[in-house]
Amino acid sequence: MRPQLPRDVFAAVVANAPLVSIDLLVSDREGRLLVGRRVNEPARGTWFVPGGRIAKEDGDLSTALAAIVENELGVPNELRWSPERLAGAYTHRYPTNAIGVPGVETLYVVLGYRLLPGDVDIDEARLSDQHDAYRWIGRDDDLTDVHPNTLAYL
């Protein structure tokens, strides 16, 4: 489990500063993207790529990437950050927040990071508490409940 800020401190951060995160763009050999159905805010009930906030304790992008992969997919790894894998930097804005404070939106600065087949053993992956199901999506699939921020990655 990654360190958590006390609720009141985290609420103040969300209300006053952007959060920085890494979205994991996990592809299979057919070029489909791994998504999970979110169980909490923001974006509850939509299909979204796995990912997570960068913690100050991570110290660098490689440590943050490895921690987020392990936390989100349950797969131990020794991935090192590679600038060539960066799909881009994105701004995600949500009218809600993860701790349910009314009237406080969430702003993320997101680094979309490509994971290729073989980078992680996806057969060994387990659901994080952020998702209740995983599936693979491609451009020709039913994308009705896929969050618009995730559609941008396709």
Smallest CA-to-CA distance from 112 within 76, 75, 154 is with 154
With a cut of 60, say whether residue 18 has pLDDT above it. yes
With a cut of 70, say whether residue 13 has pLDDT above it. yes
Burial readout 117-149 (b: 16 or more C-beta within 10 A, e: otherwise): eebbebeebebbebbeebeebeeeeebeebbeb
SS3 label, residue 139: coil
With a cut of 60, say whether residue 1 has pLDDT above it. no
| CATH code: domain of residue 22 | 3.90.79.10
The token duo for 153 is 């990655």
pLDDT tens digits along 77-122: 888 999 999 999 999 999 999 999 999 999 999 999 999 888 888 7
Residue 78 lies in a domain: yes
Residue 100 lies in a domain: yes
Q: What is the mean pLDDT of the chain?
A: 92
SS3 label, residue 91: strand
The token duo for 112 is 């979309």
Residue 13 lies in a domain: yes
Residue 147 lies in a domain: no
User: How many distinct structural domains can be found in the chain?
Assistant: 1
Cα(46)–Cα(40) distance, integer angstroms:
10
Where in the sequence is the domain holding 131, given as residue range(s)?
7-137
Kindly indicate the confidence band of residue 2, based on its pLDDT and cuts at 50, 70 and 90: low
With a cut of 60, say whether residue 143 has pLDDT above it. yes
Residue 16 lies in a domain: yes
Kindly indicate the confidence band of residue 136, based on its pLDDT and cuts at 50, 70 and 90: very high
